[in-house]
Structure 1
Amino acid sequence: MNIKLVKLTAEYKKQLTDMMDEWLAVEKDFSPYAIRKNDYHDFEYYLENLETKEGEKPGLVPDSVYFCLDIDRNIFVGAVNIRHYLNESLYKSGGHIGDGIRPSERRKGYATAMIGLALEKCKELGINKVLMTCDKTNIGSAKSITNNGGVLESEFEEDGVVEQRYWITLVSI
């Protein structure tokens, strides 16, 4: 597996379009929300509005969005959204990292590897303890979190869905 996290640029427009077309043909409500909140067909707008800057929108925290590039095949296999800190809402549900793997690339180990790379980005941002959440029924997501050192802290139910909260300690604090 030869992957890296990249920021979206015009160079990756085709990779983005291919991944999003596939994903949206299968499911409309996937994670990370950051990559589906705007219409990717308007690439310039999409690119300009992909990330939230500090103080840009009330109630939202700054974030960084990375796409997971399979270098050998030159395709995007997934994406991660890293929230730079937690507000009350993200502390309860959502956490620091939202991630997703496109449907055709699931169950191949990409999520575990991609989260590992995202944790390196968290370290660069000075985040020492990372919160990740997932639906209890999403066994693959839970496994990719625990494979990266995630420790289940709690579960809660919201709108009939049980959500799990995992903490990953990156450095001694």
Structure 2
Amino acid sequence: MVILIAGASHTGKTVLAQKMLEKYKYPYLSIDHLKMGLIRSEQTDLTAEDDDKLTDYLWPIVREIIKTAIENGQNLIVEGCYIPEDWREDFTENYLKKIKYYCLIMSEKYIEENFAQIKKYANIIERRINDDYCTKELLIEENKHNLMMCRKYGYNCILIDEQYNIDVEI
């Protein structure tokens, strides 16, 4: 089984992947780690700020890692914001039967009421060097976009509205 965990920045994708690793013993791949490895090794001229270009660059690699895991009967959690909206189009039905997708989405109300906490816990797993780009307005915009995308494609979304308490059963 391959579990895809998507969502905007600061929604807790890495925290959920870590919890699932501990609970189910499924390894996880952080797309951010792959991104930084390729950038730091100078395998690309892209930078960490090139989000749209990074999705186009990283997804073909991640897609083939997913296929390889499925073909080998291996469990894997893949988490990150570089999963394209139309990811399903890259897999046949045989692969899709072995992929579960979850998108973490914070409601506007949750962001408005908990922005200080969201920022406070931004480094719970990853050590963010500079988090100044993350504004309340940006989070609201990205999460609204992801909610519309999930509705459009019929994807599973985990809505964080009242309190932050996420668990996924597989």
Q: If the TM-score is normalised by the length of the shorter chain, which range does it land in? A: 0.3 to 0.5
Structure with bigger helix share is 2
TM-score of the superposed pair, with normalisation by structure 2: 0.34
TM-score of the superposed pair, with normalisation by structure 1: 0.33
Higher relative contact order by CA 8 Å / sep ≥ 6: 1 or 2? 2
